[in-house]
Structure formats: structure tokens, C-alpha cells
Amino acid sequence: MSLLTCAGRWLVVLVVLAAVPVLAAGRLLPAAARVALVRGCARALLRCAGVRPTITDLRDDAETGRGSGVLVVAPHVSWIDVLVLTAIAPSGFVARADLLGWGTLGTLARRMRVIPIERENLRELPEVVAGIRTRLQAGDRVTVFPEGTTWCGRAHGRFRAALFQAAVDAGCPVQPVRLRYLGRAGAVATAPAFVGDDTIGEAIRRMLRHRGTVADVVLAPLQPPGTDRRALAARCERAVRGEPGEMPVTVAAAAAGQRAVGDRPGTRYPGPVMTSPTAGTSGSPKTVYLDHAATTPMLPAAIEAMTQVFATVGNASSLHGSGRAARRRIEEARESIAADLGARPSEVLFVSGGTEGDNLAVKGIFWGRRAQDPRRNRVIASAVEHHAVLDAVEWLVEHENAEVTWLPVDADGRVDPQTLRAALSEHADDTALVTVMWANNEVGTVMPIPELAAVAAEFDVPMHSDAVQAVAHLPVDFAASGLSAMTVAAHKFGGPQGTGALLLGRQVPCVPLAHGGGHERDIRSGTQDTASIVGMAAALHAAVTDLDATTARLAALRDALVAGIEDVIPEAILNGPRGANRLPGNVHFTFPGCEGDSLLMLLDAAGIECSTGSACTAGVARASHVLIAMGADPRIARGSLRFSLGHTSTRADVDAVIAALPQVVERARAAGLASAAGRGGDGR
């Protein structure tokens, strides 16, 4: 067949296919006839392109007969993917928004009710998810390509979980589809790929030169939606890649009482809750990881963003093309972080993490304010700060002859704004800065930061807040808070370790700790880590986009863990407040008669990882300064544990802790009694 003849057939079939949505919209044909016509036209187009689809159906009869909405997910190689999938079963599609402007194809897409998505404007993603959910709830099939863009067919992109939320919300199953293109010799073919700067014309000509391509389609078993879109996306990605999973779960299996790995209770496919052997995220598959306040596993969005940068080279300070590209990536990340935290881009200074950010803020602002007015030699800080702030203040006292006023806290660990007002009233003329953390890293108390910042502003004193534990766990808006400076750390919200940011108002004086190349407004010199900065921005955006749903889920798990521990160990003491004034993922208990280190080691042996408090001071056999400031007995306070939940946590993790804790506490108490008897006294 000549190229001219084939091109003519393409034109004829495109005209026919363009008429199909018009007929469907006008209800001129019965539903079954419309479906048959669309499938027939798609198959005709494939024949003209020299593509022959083959289908392997791994679903059982119960799944193929379902009549509810279905989310179809497949790898994305080419625009031909749409034809292949339509030839199997017509579906709505989520497609790039600019497709709607592609002339006849755009008209066709609008007639087929394509759901447009702006790949570069992820703020519209919730609307896209809502549109998919509505279609699913109406019983429609909707196809998405979770890789986000086309790949060559031999390489693949990681599935992005956001669009899977529509299936979770609608309670609809997901149909994973394996799709690859094979050449005549049976090897994976890249000719159909539509990547880079390809045009439709070039893609069609390439397809015609490689006639005889086989579209190898495998319909994998349907996946139940569960309640965790990330677990759902991971299962579907394994199914699409043909990779073995930890426990393949189909809709039919779920209906028989099995639950998908990583899913939470409440799914429409009831079954026994899985316990710790598959719930963990650390090295051992039996580990329950509940130390997210120390560090949390990186989000796929951050890993993907960093991986793309690792393949590049360029110092952001260099003037050549590679340097300018690195600078552009950093500035785009700065703008993204600023938008997500309610700041201006120029207020975002990149640092190595929370400790450096706190030191730079406390020491730098102190020096800057004292240089402006030598009388300002005082720091006002809460008594429950992280040691990155406490030790920085103590250093100023020891080496700079600074004065310090420690703000007391109530029994829940909260600073009263009137307490700050009283301190500033007494020291209005000699205070350089105020520093109060946004949320406590040990007991999870959320401070009234806007109220405290307003009090500081009355006295024209800048206020800094360590917001390391708050960002991506609470709504944080730098501008609205009234703060002058704020510290964040990437690894607390799914970004890489070793990077963070100090948000610093433009008018706030800050003397640098280190001097060099004048980076970051000449306040923090040093070559920027481009990959980590990009990863931090990606993680933060992913985290704040899902903030409401994530915090609600974690708060429910937190409350379940608190109730469970109080039920099985009635004498346990909950430290910190209950409800909205506590971080959604924080649980902190004291177990009288126990040593925290003993509890920690016994739980670790049982496959449960938690902490005795701040990871930066772990291993020190003394009561937490936070608990002492809250009025706790130092001897009893030493028997405390912090369980911190995060984005990988499940109800199975909570149940595992509740089941293991009674025996652990009993053994820890026995060890404590034996130790006290051996010392012949009360152990003091």
C-alpha cells in the first residue's frame, strides 16, 4: 500500500470518527450502537497506521461483568494509546489541555468530553480530580496516564498518585492496563513513541514506515480503591509493569475478605486488618515506623524531581548555559516554596536544614539588632524550644554576654501571649528578638503564633519561629502569621535530608554566620544544592496540596492510638493537649515505673520504631526539658515515648503498637524494679 493511499484512508476515517461524538451527543443511536461505532472507528484508524492490537484478559468473570465506574490507568507512549484503549472499550480521557486547540483533534476531544489538565499548573489538580470523581460516580470509564507525560516505551516514568484520589473518593475500582508496542521481530518498538519535539505529522509518517507494529495489551486484575491513593498507585504501577507485588489483591479477592497492602479501614471491600509485617517502611518488611517527627520517607514527587536534576550539571553561580539552567531550577523552586508558604520569593533563603536555619536566625538577628542599637542584648525564648534554638541562645549568653528571658509554659506546653506581653513590657528597650516554636517536636503542642507575633510587633521586636514540625502538618502562612523569620526543614515533609529554608523578612537585619560568595542575599554563602532544593520544593508542594486530607487522616490515627494506649495501659500519662491544639501525627506518653530507653529497645525488638523524644538528643539518659518545663516529675518523665505518624502510617501500625505495648511496659517495669533493687535505694 502506498503512502498516498494510506494517507487517504487516514483522512476518510478521521472524518468518520469526528462525526461519532456528534451522533452520541444527539442520542441518534442506542448506547450499544454508539460504543460499537466508536470502537470500530478506532480499530480502522489503527489498521491504517499499521498497528494490530492483541489483548490478554487476566480478569475473572466477576470483574468483567461489573457495571460501575472504572478508572483505567496505563503507561503513556503515544497519542496512539488513546486509539488502542478506545478500540478495547471507549472511555473518557484525561489529556493535556493544549490538545483542545489542535484543530480537528481538539474538536474531537471536546466532543468526547476529554478532561483537560494543565501539566505546568498543578494548582488546578484538585478540580481535575473532582471532575474525574464525578464521571466515575456517574458510572463512566475514565482513563488516565499516571506517568504524566509520554515515554519512549523502553523507559518508564513513576506513577503519580494524585489522580488516583478520584477512585478512592468515588469508591470505584481501578483497571491497570499493560501496554507496549512490539516490532515485527517481537522486540519493544519505539517508533510509536510521541516524545520530545515530535509533531503529529512526523509521528504519523514514522508509524507508516514501521507498519506491522503490534500493540500488546494486557488487562490486569481490577484493583480495589482502598483509602490510600499512594498505596493504590503503587499496586497499579506494579500491575502495569508486570512486577510481582508483596500481596496482589484484586477486586474479587477483596470481596472475599482480603485487604490491599497499605490500605486503611473503611474501604468498601471489608476484610481483616493487616498487621505490622507489611506495614513498615524501613529496612525490614516487619518494621512499623512511627518516628516521622525525626524524619519521614521521601515522597515520590521529590525523588522524581531530584532524579531529573542528578543527570544535569551546573553551578548556579556560573554564567554559562548549564549554570543558568541550574539557577533557573533554583529560582523556580524558590518561587514554588514561597507560594506554598505564603511568602515572597526573596524572603526564602536556602540553608542546610533546621539546625542551621535556627542558628542563623537567632544569632544573625541578635547581631543585626544589636548593631543597630547596642542596648538590645536580650533574647526572649520559650522554655520548650528545640535544642537548635536553646543551644544557640545559650551560646550567645556564654560568648556574647547576652541576656535571656525564658518564657514559661502551661501544663500542655503552651506559651500564653500575655506571658510574652509581660516579658516585653519589662524589657521593651533591650530585647533583640523573640523566638517561639510553632509546634513542639516532642509533645506536639501547637503554639498561638499569630497572637504571639502580634504582641511582639506591638513592641517593634522581630519574632522568629522554628516551624520545622508545623510545615506540611498545619496551615502555615508566613505573611499572615506576622513573623519576621521562620525555619523549615525538607526531610520533615518528604523532602531530602540536608536542606531547608529560613524565611526572613526583607527589612529584618541578619548578620551571616559564614562568609564567602554572597549567596542568598549575602546572608548564607555557599554553592546551592540544586537537586535537594528542587526536591524540597516538589515535596512541599505535594504535601500542602493534600494538607486537609492528610491531616484529617493522621488526626484520626492519632486519636485511635491515644485511645488504644489509654485502654490497655490505664496508668499511662498523655503529655500535651488533645484535639486541634496538637500536631495531627503526634502521640507522647509517659509510662510510670519505666525507663524510656528500655521501652524503646523492647519496642525496637518487636519491630516498632519510635523515639524517647527529640532525635537530636536521643540516647541521653535524662528527663526531657520539655516535660520538666510542663511541670512533670523528672523521675517519672524519664519513662516517656513519642510515637509520630506520617504519610506511610496505617491503622495496622496503630494496632501493632496497641498489641505490643502491654507486654513491653510490663518487661520495662520489671527491669526498672530490678535495677532499683540492685542499687539498694529509690534509684536517684
Domain of residue 586, CATH code: 3.90.1150.10
Cβ-contact 225, 168 below 8 angstroms: yes
Query: How many domains, the chain?
Result: 3
Beta strands 174-182; 70-73: pairing state? parallel
Angle between the 530-545 and 321-341 helix axes, to the nearest 10 degrees? 30
Is 658 a residue whose pLDDT tops 90?
A: yes
Task: Name the least confident of 21-35, 50-64, 374-388.
Answer: 21-35
Cα angle 65, 71, 72 (rounded to 5 degrees) comes to 85
Is 490 inside a domain boundary? yes
Is 242 a residue whose pLDDT tops 80?
A: no
Spatial separation of the C-alpha atoms in residues 1 and 231, rounded to whole Å: 48
- pLDDT at position 273 is 29
616 is catalytic: yes
Is 295 inside a domain boundary? no
End-to-end alpha carbon distance in the chain: 95
Instruction: Show the DSSP H helices in 493-591 as ranges.
Output: 519-523, 530-545, 547-568
pLDDT, mean of residues 357-362? 98
Cβ-contact 59, 222 below 8 angstroms: yes
Last residue of a domain, one of 517, 544, 571: 544
Q: At 505, list the grid cell.
A: 523578612
Q: What percent of the chain has pLDDT over 90?
A: 54
pLDDT, mean of residues 486-506? 97
> 3-state SS string over 277-342?
HHCCCCCCCCCEECECCCCCCCCHHHHHHHHHHHCCCCCCCCCCHHHHHHHHHHHHHHHHHHHHHC
Cβ-contact 298, 535 below 8 angstroms: yes
Task: Name the least confident of 124-128, 496-500, 655-659.
Answer: 124-128
- pLDDT at position 441 is 97
The residue that leads in pLDDT, 64 or 650, is 650
Cα angle 9, 81, 16 (rounded to 5 degrees) comes to 30
Does one domain contain both 214 and 361?
Answer: no
- pLDDT at position 151 is 61
465, β-bridge pairs = 486
- pLDDT at position 646 is 97
Beta strands 115-117; 92-96: pairing state? parallel
Beta strands 500-504; 463-466: pairing state? unpaired
Q: At 624, list the grid cell.
A: 526531657
**Which residues, including other chains, have CB under 8 Å from residue 510's CB and lie 6 or more apart?**
360, 361, 364, 365, 367, 368, 485, 504, 523
Residue with cell 542528578: 310
- pLDDT at position 105 is 55
- pLDDT band for 599, please (50, 70, 90 cuts): very high
Does one domain contain both 537 and 641?
Answer: no
Cβ-contact 541, 530 below 8 angstroms: no
Amino acid at 188: V
Is 6 inside a domain boundary? no
- Specify the DSSP class assigned to residue 166: H
400, β-bridge pairs = none
- pLDDT band for 22, please (50, 70, 90 cuts): very low
Last residue of a domain, one of 521, 544, 567: 544
Is 263 a residue whose pLDDT tops 60?
A: no
DSSP for 331-381? HHHHHHHHHHHT--GGGEEEESSHHHHHHHHHHHHHHHHHHH-TT--EEEE
pLDDT, mean of residues 296-304? 95
Spatial separation of the C-alpha atoms in residues 393 and 384, rounded to whole Å: 13
Catalytic residue, chosen from 152, 236, 594, 616, is 616
- pLDDT at position 478 is 97
Is 279 inside a domain boundary? no
Does one domain contain both 535 and 561?
Answer: no
Is 465 inside a domain boundary? yes
Instruction: Annotate 506-541 with b (16+ C-beta within 10 A) or e (fewer).
Output: eebbbbbeeeeeebbeebbeeebbbbbbbbbbbbbb
Cβ-contact 328, 569 below 8 angstroms: no
Does one domain contain both 347 and 373?
Answer: yes
Spatial separation of the C-alpha atoms in residues 638 and 568, rounded to whole Å: 20
pLDDT, mean of residues 298-325? 92
Does one domain contain both 538 and 556?
Answer: no
Last residue of a domain, one of 528, 544, 560: 544
Is 117 inside a domain boundary? yes
- pLDDT band for 31, please (50, 70, 90 cuts): low
pTM flag (> 0.85): no
Does one domain contain both 667 and 614?
Answer: yes
Is 256 a residue whose pLDDT tops 80?
A: no
Cβ-contact 416, 446 below 8 angstroms: no
Greatest alpha-carbon span in the chain: 100
pLDDT, mean of residues 498-521? 93
Does one domain contain both 507 and 580?
Answer: no
* Each residue's pLDDT tens digit, 535-562: 999 999 999 998 999 999 999 999 999 9
Does one domain contain both 638 and 660?
Answer: yes
* Each residue's pLDDT tens digit, 112-138: 667 877 655 556 778 888 888 988 998
Does one domain contain both 140 and 253?
Answer: yes
CATH of the domain at 407: 3.40.640.10
Phi-psi region of 544 (alpha: psi -120 to 50; beta: other; left: phi over 0): alpha
CATH of the domain at 136: 3.40.1130
Beta strands 348-351; 500-504: pairing state? antiparallel
The residue that leads in pLDDT, 533 or 252, is 533
Q: At 595, list the grid cell.
A: 525507663
- pLDDT band for 618, please (50, 70, 90 cuts): very low
Is 10 inside a domain boundary? no
Residue 569's domain comprises 547-679
Is 306 inside a domain boundary? yes
Q: Quick check: helix, strand or coil at residue 641?
A: strand
Q: Tell me which residue of 535, 449, 531, 514 sits closest to 484, measured CA to CA.
A: 449
- pLDDT at position 156 is 60
Q: At 401, list the grid cell.
A: 554576654
Spatial separation of the C-alpha atoms in residues 136 and 140, rounded to whole Å: 5
The residue that leads in pLDDT, 678 or 425, is 425
Instruction: Show the DSSP H helices in 569-641 as ranges.
Output: 596-605, 625-629, 634-637
* Each residue's pLDDT tens digit, 46-66: 888 788 888 888 876 555 545
Does one domain contain both 540 and 594?
Answer: no
Is 103 a residue whose pLDDT tops 90?
A: no
Does one domain contain both 509 and 383?
Answer: yes
Phi-psi region of 76 (alpha: psi -120 to 50; beta: other; left: phi over 0): beta
Spatial separation of the C-alpha atoms in residues 173 and 381, rounded to whole Å: 52
* Each residue's pLDDT tens digit, 189-204: 666 766 555 566 666 7
Is 150 a residue whose pLDDT tops 70?
A: no
Counting every residue written for the chain, the total comes to 684
Does one domain contain both 508 and 607?
Answer: no
